């Protein structure tokens, strides 16, 4: 059984016990959350597609931690003008574990 869930505008495939890396959530480690923005559920034979969300289905997750992504380097320059600018960025992510899919 799996469900497609929308978290912060992005879609993720959630299966029981799966570890997902999503954009940073403002939730402390160890706390449980419920997402009710489920777009699709499937149990192998029966598929339910929402318009836009499936009614009565929730995905329970627990926050396992926070991590940083790879460093991205931004480099700008203009030839013959002595203009050079270098900047770096590391995106923050949250690791969440799917504990249950309720109502599917």
DSSP-assigned beta bridge partners for residue 41: 3, 48
Alpha carbon distance 94, 19 (integer Å): 10
- Digit-by-digit pLDDT tens for the chain (104 residues) are 999 999 999 999 999 999 999 999 999 999 999 999 999 999 989 999 999 999 999 999 999 999 999 999 999 999 999 999 999 999 999 999 999 999 86
Domain ranges of the chain: 2-102
Alpha carbon distance 59, 96 (integer Å): 11
């Amino acid at each position: 059984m799996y469900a497609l869930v929308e978290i912060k505008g992005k879609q993720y495939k959630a299966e029981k016990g799966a570890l997902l890396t999503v954009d940073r959530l403002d939730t402390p480690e160890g706390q449980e959350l419920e997402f009710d923005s489920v777009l699709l559920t499937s149990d192998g034979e029966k598929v339910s597609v929402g318009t836009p969300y499936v009614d009565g289905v929730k995905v329970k997750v627990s926050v396992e931690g926070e991590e940083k992504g790879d460093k991205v380097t931004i480099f700008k320059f203009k030839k013959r003008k002595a203009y050079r600018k270098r900047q770096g960025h590391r995106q923050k992510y949250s690791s969440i574990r799917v504990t249950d899919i309720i109502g599917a």
